[in-house]
């Protein structure tokens, strides 16, 4: 997941290629557009637009984590997620959706 996070950090904007990579990581399936539905693998031609939609990016936030701050700065956006009083995870990126994706994936990475 470290490579995916590095690609998201380097991105100037969201892309469908990155959306596919995120979906691939979430499902653990080697193909581009597979997801689990009711215990069976199903094919979806359109993974969510994680890197361009805040609504889609929010679905990456692990259970129990919350968005503490999403703010624009001169050179991009920053996002901070929080869980309880001591767990905090932050990220910076070119767009708000990318920053949220990175913070959420880092939180997930810490859970693995």
Whether pLDDT at 85 is above 80: no
Quote the domain boundaries for residue 6: 2-15+48-111
Lowest-pLDDT range, 19-23, 82-86, 106-110? Answer: 82-86
Is the residue at 86 inside a domain?
Answer: yes
* 33-52 per-position pLDDT tens digit: 566 666 766 665 677 899 99
Overall domain count for the chain:
1
Is the residue at 33 inside a domain?
Answer: no
Is the residue at 82 inside a domain?
Answer: yes
Could you tell me where the beta strands, DSSP code E, fall in 2-105? 34-37, 40-43, 66-73, 76-83, 87-93
Residue 49 confidence (pLDDT): 92
The pLDDT-based confidence of 80 (bands split at 50, 70, 90) is: very high
Is the residue at 41 inside a domain?
Answer: no
Q: What is the CATH number of the domain that holds 94?
A: 3.30.160
Residue 56 confidence (pLDDT): 95
Is the residue at 21 inside a domain?
Answer: no
């Amino acid at each position: 997941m470290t490579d995916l996070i590095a690609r998201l950090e380097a991105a100037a904007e969201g892309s469908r290629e990155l959306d596919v990579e995120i979906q691939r990581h979430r499902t653990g399936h080697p193909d581009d557009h597979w997801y689990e539905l009711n215990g069976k693998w199903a094919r979806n031609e359109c993974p969510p637009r994680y890197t361009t939609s805040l609504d889609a990016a929010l679905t990456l936030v692990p259970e129990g984590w919350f968005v503490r701050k999403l703010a624009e700065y001169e050179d991009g956006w920053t996002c901070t997620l929080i869980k309880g009083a001591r767990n905090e995870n932050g990220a910076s990126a070119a767009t708000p959706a990318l920053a949220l994706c990175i913070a959420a994936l880092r939180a997930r990475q810490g859970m693995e």
